[in-house]
Structure 1
């Protein structure tokens, strides 16, 4: 149950961080305005809390593992939101990062 909760929290963190950064990008670079930027800033602020709910108590471990989720999530977000087509190396790299995340977070200790 802890693993399922942890994965759900990583997914929520990714949506908040990547989505927040995307909203800021859209607001500033695509000139969609301050409402988009403000929404992004709020999402990024909420992302800051997401890791605090992880079952593991070690900040460094949680944040390091989240890095793998961030990499894979960013590629997925780009494909869905911006029409980016990841190539086989993008996909391989994302899978390597997710494997690293699983080792860091869920290896028996």
Structure 2
């Protein structure tokens, strides 16, 4: 006879995993803000810049921001290659909206 599934335990495990992923995402976004130098902005300034970015439909602008963000990460990975204790892959796992914001806000 088959062992019955413990749906409650499976659900709890999935909820724990989702919570862990959300926590990791928040931490990575915070690290991205710090790495770009955007932590010098006020929360209102940073939120305003991100809202403007999210609302932008201009694909040329978004493409330029994405290029700038990719260049930021390429430069960062070269600089941190000599620092083995730094985890450079953290921010790189955030595709899409996170990269363009870093290029526009931190390098301006």
The two structures have a TM-score, normalised by structure 2, of 0.31
Structure ID, larger Rg: 2
Higher-RCO chain (CA-CA 8 Å, sequence separation at least 6) = 2
* TM-score (normalised: structure 1): 0.31
